[in-house]
């Protein structure tokens, strides 16, 4: 007979005696065993222990957590009822030498939730003080919860789609600055010297453990803002105090526990949505998809309601150093921009009579912008005698000589990611190839955006596409026309015209493409890469020139390797119509190429927020016209 | 930078700090015994605390360059519980408040010094919160340190300092001002 059963028997005897003898009220009853059993199959308990449906175990469940210490029952990993029984037993354990290791402290969320569900009080289980937990939560001073979205970063495969972390916001009576708030992060546990190929394969196929870690928010803020130049968008949730406490407590329970990390589905966005979803009735995890995109979680959060109120309480923008520079530079008038150019040529200009003739405020605007420019442009490899280092030091010293000003960074130019469109796209419409009769063209893109349909939350003037599949239905037969396994295009639009501020372009593609439009059934597996330059053409257009190469499987006498010279013109600043024209010249390295010239033109017209019309012309030997109606999903 | 020139730069920085503050050691008629290891935190006189950069290994090392893989985002290197800032430990130990401030400055130096130049900012607020300074005193503290920090930035030797040395210089200025002029406003 275990402790709980013994105590229950004692309670029943006591209750019987007191009822018959008129004694004082019996002690508080232990949690009702029958009711506790029922709770083992409740949605919240299953979420607290991260049970997932599985065919193998008798219970039909297996926890996603692999760390043994997360379970109190020997079979707790696969038996929700046994784990709940063991949890209740564990709460009654005597306190050892380190109270922080007591189950009431280690499993704080379980304790809070079971206490509420079973209505047990401090007489049922003597409450244990948890000093480390109290310190972590600022003595219960966590006032609210935010999800923080870091925008996508094309230089790192793990960051293509952005990242989400959790911030525990201290009450402002306790915390003046949210930089010291606790942040909770979920990521893959990767060996330090991992190579890129292993990194991508293991990340996609579950070859890594994943886990939660915590650090003060300033760590992430500084890294994203200063090193990766990524904006942060903070989404504060409107939650009741007990809901904030439950999420906080569950985050505590998960620290140091391991999951299997899957880059596409059970990634940071998934686990953060799962963590927040511990609150009953709160669901921000996009369902029925084989992947979880951080922006999709944020979009669902922004449109969700909780307790009949909008779940989203507030959106705060934390611009990167680059974004702050752009905002400050945009604020400069023509004279200010001329001064910035003079400073760049000679930082000593900041001490010239001409510059000092301006008011301290006007000088401060220029110097502040240039401080951001220099910091954004500096790299770790630049020694202290590099001109940019000299320029930065000169500007910094000059700023100290100017009066302090409460210089708020100008309002964000970027639109919040939750206002963007849904990540997937399907399109269908007629295709006319080489003057033949029309056939049906259909395209399905799982994620994410191309240059023409990119928007809030996406990297501007870029394409990030995975699993884009095009088919043609002609005379009742279905043909695969193309498959983009991966396509990344990036062109940084020059903003200020200052060196290093935009102007680069690169691309990476891998997939099945037709050798040309003259042949049928001539798909080749082709991988290509290119680098080059981009230039602004007025305020509405961008052009670029790239040099690269490609490898493909040999077919129909064509060679394996070729060089590529590509150019493009994008008109994407117009909301009504966005267009792109591309030209490519291929140079065979081995063998021959039947067709060396490729050209295409494409234009889309948004129809509301979920539809688009798209017209495309392409020529690669023969030509093709494609008109589609598309819907984002 | 060679070891000799580095030592020279550090000594110059220390001399600069002392000269700029105008502080002169007051003779103590009954000086304490000279500690065997003057750089050991345990041998510091009460109230002086360690120099976190020298005695506790504080350094701007959180943002290591891992090449093509970002140090944060979807990748974490281990699940060790990272020590959080705590203002509860004795100031004489390396877990004290001043060490936390020193670590914060080391980690966010470019932001801290930029905001000091501008006169305000969230990193300054966070730094002074670590010192438990009353929010109404923040402006005065920043005004008090701004001139001296600016002089340090403008000094010819500043360019030769490593990031850690710059952070240490900044920390010493802030810490001295708070210990000297703002004891009523901050929980030193």
- Output phi, psi for A409, to 5 deg: -65, 135
What pLDDT, on the 0 to 100 scale, is given for residue A410? 66
What pLDDT, on the 0 to 100 scale, is given for residue A450? 93
Contact B125 A176 (CB under 8 A): yes
**Interface mutation vs chain B, best among A135, A222, A394, A409, most B CBs within 10 Å:** A222
To the nearest whole angstrom, how far is the Cα of A419 from the nearest Cα of chain B?
22
What pLDDT, on the 0 to 100 scale, is given for residue A578? 92
Residue-wise pLDDT tens digits, A286-320: 988 888 999 999 999 999 999 999 999 999 999 99
Contact A400 B119 (CB under 8 A): no
Contact A218 B73 (CB under 8 A): no
Residue B109 near residue B121 (C-beta atoms within 8 A) = no
Q: Report the DSSP pairing between strands A477-491 and A504-514.
A: antiparallel
Residue B92 near residue B44 (C-beta atoms within 8 A) = yes
**Interface mutation vs chain A, best among B75, B116, B143, most A CBs within 10 Å:** B75
* Residue B107 sits at the chain A interface (C-beta within 8 Å): yes
To the nearest whole angstrom, how far is the Cα of B140 from the nearest Cα of chain A?
12
What pLDDT, on the 0 to 100 scale, is given for residue A30? 56
* Residue B108 sits at the chain A interface (C-beta within 8 Å): yes
What pLDDT, on the 0 to 100 scale, is given for residue A21? 37
Mean pLDDT along residues A181-207: 87
Contact B74 A188 (CB under 8 A): yes
Q: Which residues of A touch B81 (CB under 8 A)?
A: 213-214, 255-256
Taking CA–CA distances from A188, the nearest residue in chain B reads B75
- Output phi, psi for A67, to 5 deg: -75, 125
SS (H, E, C) A516-535: CCCCCCCEEEEEEEEEEEEE
What pLDDT, on the 0 to 100 scale, is given for residue A248? 97
Taking CA–CA distances from B88, the nearest residue in chain A reads A135
Residues 6+ apart with CB under 8 A from A162: A149, A150, A151, A152, A153, A293, A294, A295, A417, A457
**Distance between CA A37 and CA A80 in Å, rounded?**
9
Mean pLDDT along residues B23-36: 36
**Burial zone of A559 (CB within 10 Å; 0-12 exposed, 13-18 middle, 19+ buried):** middle
To the nearest whole angstrom, how far is the Cα of B72 from the nearest Cα of chain A?
7
Contact B79 A218 (CB under 8 A): no
Residue A424 near residue A612 (C-beta atoms within 8 A) = no
Contact B72 A185 (CB under 8 A): yes
For helices A108-118 and A241-254, give the axis angle rounded to 10 degrees. 140
Mean pLDDT is lowest, of A55-69, A395-409, B27-41, for: B27-41
Half-sphere exposure for A240 (CA within 13 Å, toward CB)? 10
Q: Which residues of B touch A193 (CB under 8 A)?
A: none
Taking CA–CA distances from B113, the nearest residue in chain A reads A396
Going by pLDDT thresholds of 50, 70 and 90, the confidence category of residue A228 is confident
Going by pLDDT thresholds of 50, 70 and 90, the confidence category of residue A31 is low
Going by pLDDT thresholds of 50, 70 and 90, the confidence category of residue A424 is very high
Going by pLDDT thresholds of 50, 70 and 90, the confidence category of residue A125 is confident
SS3 content of chain A, % helix, strand, coil (to 5): 30, 30, 35
Contact B117 A399 (CB under 8 A): yes
Least Cα distance to A450 among A496, A486, A397, A414 occurs for A486
Going by pLDDT thresholds of 50, 70 and 90, the confidence category of residue A278 is very high
Percent of chain B with pLDDT over 70: 53
- Output phi, psi for B111, to 5 deg: -75, -40
Q: Which residues of B touch A150 (CB under 8 A)?
A: 73
Half-sphere exposure for B172 (CA within 13 Å, toward CB)? 21
* Residue B186 sits at the chain A interface (C-beta within 8 Å): no
CA distance to A56, A77, A89, A167, A426, per residue, from A82 (Å): 17, 9, 11, 33, 46
SS3 A614: strand
SS3 A218: helix
What pLDDT, on the 0 to 100 scale, is given for residue A473? 95
**Distance between CA A545 and CA A529 in Å, rounded?**
13
What pLDDT, on the 0 to 100 scale, is given for residue A198? 85
- Better-predicted residue by pLDDT, A175 or A49: A49
To the nearest whole angstrom, how far is the Cα of B17 from the nearest Cα of chain A?
17
Taking CA–CA distances from A391, the nearest residue in chain B reads B159
* Residue B42 sits at the chain A interface (C-beta within 8 Å): no
Least Cα distance to A533 among A548, A523, A517 occurs for A548
* Residue B100 sits at the chain A interface (C-beta within 8 Å): no
Q: Report the DSSP pairing between strands A182-189 and B75-76.
A: parallel
SS3 A160: coil
With a cut of 60, say whether residue B79 has pLDDT above it: no
Q: Which residues of A touch B117 (CB under 8 A)?
A: 371, 396, 399-400
Mean pLDDT along residues A153-178: 84
Average pLDDT over chain A reads 89
Mean pLDDT along residues A97-110: 95
A606: which strand partners?
Answer: A612
Going by pLDDT thresholds of 50, 70 and 90, the confidence category of residue A161 is confident
**Interface mutation vs chain A, best among B20, B72, B111, B185, most A CBs within 10 Å:** B72
């Amino acid at each position: 007979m275990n402790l709980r059963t013994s105590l229950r028997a004692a309670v029943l005897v006591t209750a019987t005696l007191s009822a018959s003898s008129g004694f004082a009220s019996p002690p508080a009853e232990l949690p009702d065993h029958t009711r506790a059993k029922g709770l083992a199959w409740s949605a919240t308990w299953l979420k607290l222990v991260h049970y997932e449906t599985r065919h193998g175990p008798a219970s039909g469940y297996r926890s996603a957590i692999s760390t043994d210490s997360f379970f109190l029952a020997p079979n707790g990993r696969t038996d929700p009822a046994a784990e709940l029984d063991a949890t209740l037993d564990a709460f009654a354990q005597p306190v050892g030498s380190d109270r922080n290791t007591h189950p009431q402290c280690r499993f704080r969320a379980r304790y809070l939730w079971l206490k509420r569900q079973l209505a047990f009080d401090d007489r049922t289980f003597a409450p244990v003080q948890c000093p480390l937990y109290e310190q972590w939560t600022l003595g219960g001073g966590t006032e609210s919860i935010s999800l923080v979205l870091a925008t996508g970063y094309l230089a790192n495969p793990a960051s293509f789609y952005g990242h989400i972390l959790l911030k525990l916001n201290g009450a402002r009576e306790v915390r003046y600055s949210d930089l010291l708030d606790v942040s909770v992060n979920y990521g893959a546990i990767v060996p330090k010297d991992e190579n890129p190929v292993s990194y991508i394969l293991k990340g996609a196929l579950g070859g890594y453990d994943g886990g939660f870690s915590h650090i003060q928010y300033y760590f992430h803020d500084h890294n994203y803002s200063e090193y990766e130049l990524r904006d942060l968008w903070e989404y504060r949730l409107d939650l009741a105090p007990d809901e904030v406490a439950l999420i906080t407590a569950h985050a505590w329970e998960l620290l140091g526990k391991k999951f299997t990390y899957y880059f596409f589905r059970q990634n940071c966005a998934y686990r953060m949505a799962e963590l927040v979803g511990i609150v009953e009735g709160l669901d921000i995890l996009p369902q029925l998809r084989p992947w979880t995109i951080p922006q999709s979680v944020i979009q669902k959060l922004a449109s969700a309601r909780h307790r009949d109120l909008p779940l989203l309480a507030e959106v705060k923008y934390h611009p990167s150093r680059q974004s702050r520079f752009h905002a400050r530079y945009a604020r400069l008038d023509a004279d200010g921009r001329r001064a910035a150019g003079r400073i760049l040529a000679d930082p000593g200009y900041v001490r010239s009579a001409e510059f000092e003739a301006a008011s301290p405020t006007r000088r401060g605007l220029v110097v502040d912008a240039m401080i951001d420019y220099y910091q954004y442009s500096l790299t770790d490899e630049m020694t202290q005698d590099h001109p940019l280092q000299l320029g930065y030091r000169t500007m910094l010293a000059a700023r100290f000589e100017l009066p302090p000003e409460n210089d708020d960074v100008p309002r964000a130019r970027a639109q919040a990611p939750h206002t963007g469109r849904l990540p997937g796209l399907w399109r269908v419409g007629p295709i006319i190839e080489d003057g033949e009769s029309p056939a049906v063209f259909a395209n399905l893109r799982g994620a994410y955006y191309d240059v023409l349909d990119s928007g809030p939350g996406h990297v501007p003037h870029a394409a990030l596409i995975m699993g884009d599949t095009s088919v043609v239905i002609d005379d009742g037969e279905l043909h695969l026309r193309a498959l983009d396994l991966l396509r990344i295009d990036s062109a940084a639009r020059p903003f200020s015209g200052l060196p290093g501020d935009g102007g680069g372009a690169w691309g990476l593609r891998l997939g099945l493409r037709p050798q040309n439009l003259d042949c049928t059934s001539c798909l080749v597996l082709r991988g290509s890469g290119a680098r080059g330059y981009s230039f602004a053409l007025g305020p509405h257009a961008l052009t670029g020139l790239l040099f690269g190469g490609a490898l493909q499987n040999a077919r129909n006498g064509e060679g394996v390797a070729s060089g590529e010279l590509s150019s493009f013109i994008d008109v994407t600043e117009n909301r009504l119509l966005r267009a792109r024209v591309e030209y490519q010249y291929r140079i065979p390295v081995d063998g021959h190429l039947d067709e060396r010239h490729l050209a295409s033109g494409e234009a889309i017209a948004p129809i509301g927020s979920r539809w688009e019309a798209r017209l495309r012309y392409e020529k690669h030997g023969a030509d093709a016209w494609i008109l589609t109606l598309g819907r984002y999903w | 930078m060679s070891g000799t020139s580095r030592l020279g730069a550090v000594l110059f920085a220390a001399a600069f700090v002392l000269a700029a503050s105008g502080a002169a050691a007051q003779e103590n008629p009954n000086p304490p015994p000279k500690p065997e290891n003057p750089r050991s935190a345990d041998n510091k006189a009460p109230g002086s605390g360690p120099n976190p950069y020298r005695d506790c290994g504080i350094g701007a090392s959180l943002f290591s360059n891992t090449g093509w893989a970002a140090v944060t985002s979807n990748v974490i290197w281990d699940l060790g519980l990272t020590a959080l800032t705590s203002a509860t430990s004795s100031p004489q130990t390396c877990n004290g408040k001043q060490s936390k401030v020193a670590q914060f400055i080391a980690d966010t130096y470019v932001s801290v010094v930029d905001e000091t130049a501008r006169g305000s900012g969230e990193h300054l607020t966070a730094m002074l919160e670590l010192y438990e300074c009353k929010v109404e005193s923040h402006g005065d503290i920043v005004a008090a340190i701004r001139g001296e920090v600016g002089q340090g930035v403008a000094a010819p030797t500043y360019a030769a300092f490593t990031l850690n040395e710059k952070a240490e210089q900044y920390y010493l200025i802030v810490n001295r001002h708070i210990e000297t002029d703002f004891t009523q406003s901050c929980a030193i």
